[in-house]
Each structure stands twice: as C-alpha cells, then as structure tokens.
Structure 1
Amino acid sequence: MKHTKFQISIRSVWALMLALGMMTTISQAWAAGFPDKPVTLVVGSTPGSAPDTIARIVANRMSESLGQPVVVENRPGAAGSIGASSVARAEPDGYTLMMMTAVHSISPSVRDDLTYSFADDFQAVGMVASVPLLFVVNNDLGTKDMAAFIERAKQGDIFYSTPGIGTIQHLATEDFAKSAGIKMTIVPYKGGGAATKAVIANEVQLFFAGIPPALPHVKNGALTALGISTPKRSAAAPDVPTFQELGFEGYDVDNWHALYVPAGTPADVIGKLSKALNDAIALPDTAEKFLSVGASPNPNTPEIQDAFGISEIARWKNVIETNQIELGK
C-alpha cells in the first residue's frame, strides 16, 4: 500500500508526540524518587565566608525536607568561578547545586578566562538571601551623614578600599560616585577584612563593606556607617538609612546569594529543590542565623531568579561601560 507524504508526516508527528509523552512520564516518575542519595552544594569560597555560612544554614534545613543529606563542598578560587565551572560540567540530575552570588553576574564582564556561561549553563532553583553592603567612613573625616561626606568628597583626595578590582564593592562604589557627582581613587586590598582595617587605620577614607567585617567596628565607634545599599534597612543595622532614603532613587546593590543547578536539570527536580529551599528559609530560626552574616531571607521562584540573574549580568555590564571602569583585564 502506497502512503502519501501527508500520511507519513502525520504518523511522524504522532510518533514524536508519543515519544515526548513517554519522556515526560519517565521524567516525572524519576523525579518522584528524587533524591535517593546525598545532594552536593558547591560553594565557591572558603569555609567561614558569608556564602559558606549561608549555604550551611540552608543545607541543614533542606536535608530535613528532602530526606537526604545536603553536603556543602568548598571549591574556592578565581572569584567563585572554579566552583561554578565544576558545577556547569556536572550531571544535570539535581544532585549537584551551586551557591551563586552577585559576583557570578559580574564575572562575565570582568573575566576573560571563564570556562562556563552563567546565562547558558545554569538554571535557577531560587534566591536564598539578600546581603546588603554597608557604606563606612573613617571618623577623622568628621562626616556624620551622607550630605557632609559628599561635600567633603567634592574637595578631592578621597580614597576607598575594595577586596579587589571588579568586585561588587568596587562597582557599587563607582556607581555611587557617579550618582553623587564625585570622583574617588580605588585602593585594592586582599579581602574584606583587610579593606575594613584600612579604613580604620585611615589608609583610605571609606569602604563599601560586607556587614560582618564592618559592623562590629561601627558599634564600637571605630567607624561611621552612612548608608546601606539595599532598598530595605537591614535587621543587623536597623539605624543605618538606605541610599534611597538618602535621596539616591533607585540605588540598589544586593550581594545576593542564590541556588543554581546545571542547565538541563528536569523541571520536576528543580521544583522539588525550590520547595525545599523556600521551606528552609521560611523558618524563623533561619532568619536569625542569617543575621550573623548580615543576610535576610529573600525567597522567590526558579523563573523569577532566572530572569533576575540574566538582568544582573546586563546591569553590571552597563555599570562598567557607563562609568568607564578600568578593570585591568
């Protein structure tokens, strides 16, 4: 019997639909048994760092929800790109997670040696926490509020510390300087602790710091905090105004932390991980523990986080190009 091309085409379509339906059924059945072994959560920084601390808090709670251990594995180096590169190459089965931070959305614009694409090689599970930056200045400046600091900065000779070129602290400071109509000179240090001590010693006049290294010095009077970078005040420093409160409309710098998996991970598996994550960060004691690193829970969905991550890549690229920031690549 002779078949027409139309009949063959119809049969091909039905065969494809049947195959896809079987694949979906298999995927759902496989996801129903997920996880049946420990899950690894990779952190691209050293033990004791903010990402590591946040990851361990969340991992413990996710383990309870998933019924399997979530084991934190530190793979530090190259601003988190060593860990990210290993996760990008992992099997997309939900058993390998990555704690991404804002630096991963900056890296595509500041590093030429990346072996992965944040945009193409990862899918989001969801946001974990917001981690604002604290704008601290040396007391010898005699500036007790932001308006006084800006007036002083317009006179010149203001130096600021960062934990490196191309870090979120570096870019946040340059973005602020443009908004304020001032110019300052960068002095890179090795790490946030050293950058904070440099302000106390008056080697530099300011630092856009992570809360943990700076807040104790604010509380004991060694430093003055003039502003915080996120739209909401931090529970760790409730008396410090936001930049939006200070008149910098739309200024929002969040050193966010979020969970990602390799691209191609089944949607049902991502859904399970997302639920476990959001259940974990909804617990009251999670918020209390986050405070130790100046973080606050910030749950969302995989779809929202995927879109946010992509927007952050474009946002930081624009900051670098608009401000003509020298990166020494």
Structure 2
Amino acid sequence: MKRKHSLLLLLAIGIMVIALLAGCGGSKEPAAPVDEPAQEAKQEEIKYPTRPIEFVVPYAPGGMSDLVARSFATELPEILGQPVVVVNKDGGGGLVGGQYVAAAKPDGYTISVMSYVGALPEYHRRDVPYKSTDLVPICATSQNIHGIAVRKDAPWQNIEDLVEYVRENPGMKYGTTGTGSSNHLAMELLSSMAEIEMEEVPFDSDAAATSNLLGGHIDLIACNLAPLIGLH
C-alpha cells in the first residue's frame, strides 16, 4: 500500500511539473529580460489541474496497460482534485494511441501508460508517426511478467514440447498485442533462437488474444500474465 501511494504521488507530481513547464512557455528564441518578481507572481498564478485529465491507453480494454491506467485513475483524483478519465485508443500495436498523445498539447491534461515499445517507437519500427523525443516520461508504474499460454487441452505442457512440435509442424499461429509489440519481439526472438517458424496474429489487447485462443482460432499466445490469472 505504501509503494502504491508513493507511485501515485510521483505520477501526480510529474503531471504537475509538465503543466508548469507548459505554462512557462516553450519558445526556443532568446528570452527578453523580465522582471523577476513579476515572473514569480505569474508562476504562482498557474493553477493545475482545473479540469479533467485524459489518461490514454494505447490498447483495447482488458489488457495489462488498461488495468494499470484504471487503477491509477481511481486513486489520482484524491491527490489532484480533478477526475482522471481513461480513454482507449488502440491500433497499430500501440502507435495510434502513442501518436495521439505525442500530438496533444503539452499542458499536463493528456497522459498515457506505455510499454518501452510505445515510448521508444523509432528503435523498433520504421516510418513511425512520432518519436520518443515527442514524449516526456513521468515515472515507472509497473513491471510486467510475460509468458506463453496455450489451452488447457493442448498436447504441449512445456516449452521443449512446443518447440519440438513446431519444428515438425511449422506455421503454428500465435497471438500478440500487435506487430512490433514486446510480446511479438519476444516470440520472434524465440523463433530465431530455436530455429522454428510460427505465424503471428496481432490483436488489439491481451484480452482479445486470449479470447481467440480459447475459441480455438490460434494455437498459443504471448502476453502479460495478469489477464490469465482468472483463467488458470
């Protein structure tokens, strides 16, 4: 509980710092001499927040990022004094939501929760619509555990059996939260190291991938483990 409160406080402080910096202006031209007392008075007049804050999740509802955002959105209003509204903008493996946040006015009223893939897009993809320099990091919110999951009736009960099967039956379909996502990169690394061939099927969230796995549309999924806890 103490750690959770500290994270909430750190996030709130980070948001307010962004708002303060935006309020002070972002001009790159040499600043003209100003009256210091007047400048200090102007900064003291900046009040934040005065309206609801938009918390963008670059994935569909039900995934790990969505759970983290909604947890923060429940507690942050007690610290900030304003509502925090979660908005899901999924698509492109997180790039749609990331682009929306990068293009928003840097006034502290648009924040997001992202994986390192979304926060550092130019290091994972070509021709991305925004770069890491368009974003301002506030704090780390969580550490996610990734894994591979199959249906309970699947004939493979460990990674060795799965790899051996794929070697003999190339082309198995696995679900991810989008091409270029951390889950996709992990599976590509596994395929390269084990010298096997599998086909990626991208989805908008862990929840969507899990649903398709249970429905028999794909053979396995690579995802955060949190959405799977209730299915064990």
Quickly name the TM-score band, shorter chain normalised. Answer: 0.5 to 0.7
Q: Which amino acid aligns with 2:147?
A: L
Q: 1:56 aligns with which of 70, 80, 83?
A: 70
Q: Which amino acid aligns with 2:86?
A: V
**Structure 2 CA distance for aligned equivalents of residues 212 and 16 of structure 1:** 50
Correspondences of 1:79-118 after superposition (within 5 Å): 79-105=93-119, 107-108=121-122, 109-110=124-125, 112=127, 114=129, 116-117=130-131
Say whether 1:168 aligns with 2:182: yes
Classify the secondary structure of the residue corresponding to 1:126: coil
| Change in 2 beyond 3 A, CA 1:142/1:87 | closer
Q: Secondary structure at the match of 2:184?
A: helix
Note the C-alpha offset of 1:72: 2.5
What are the within-5 Å matches in structure 2 for residues 25-36 of structure 1? 25=40, 29-30=44-45, 33-36=47-50
1:190-221 deviation per Cα after TM superposition (whole angstroms, max 9, x unaligned): 4545543555566654321333554444x2xx
Deviating more after overlay: 94-103 vs 185-194: 185-194
C-alpha separation in 2, matches of 1:172 and 1:154: 18
Percent identity reads 25
Distance 2:145 2:36 in 1: 45
Q: 2:223 aligns with which of 204, 209, 222?
A: 209
The answer to whether residue 143 in structure 2 is matched with residue 125 in structure 1 is: no
Structure 1 unmatched ranges of 5 or more: 1-14, 220-329
Aligned length: 200
* Residue 75 of structure 1: aligned partner: 89
Asked if 1:186 corresponds to 2:221, the answer is no
Q: Secondary structure at the match of 1:127?
A: coil
Q: SS in structure 2 opposite 1:112? A: coil
Kindly indicate whether structure 1 or structure 2 has the higher relative contact order, using CA contacts under 8 Å at least 6 residues apart. Answer: 1
- 1:269-326 Cα distance to aligned partner (Å, 9 max, x none): xxxxxxxxxxxxxxxxxxxxxxxxxxxxxxxxxxxxxxxxxxxxxxxxxxxxxxxxxx
Q: Equivalent residue for 2:5?
A: none
Q: Cα 1:29–1:76, aligned 2, differ >3 Å: closer, same or farther?
A: same
Give the match's secondary structure for 2:48: coil
Question: Match of 2:82, SS?
Answer: coil
Letter in 2 for 1:136: A
CA distance in 2, matches of 1:45, 1:87: 13
TM-score (norm 1): 0.49
Distance 2:87 2:42 in 1: 27
- Judged with a 3 Å threshold, the aligned counterparts in structure 2 of structure 1 residues 133 and 95 are, in CA distance, closer, same or farther, namely same
* Cα gap change, 1:199 to 1:112, in 2 (>3 Å): same
d(CA) in 2 for partners of 1:22, 1:78: 48
Indicate conservation of the 8 Å contact 2:166/2:172, yes or no.
no
CA distance in 1, matches of 2:38, 2:146: 46
Please give the per-residue CA displacement for 1:65-88, whole angstroms capped at 9, x wherever unaligned.
122222323334443333333332
* Bigger Cα Rg: 1
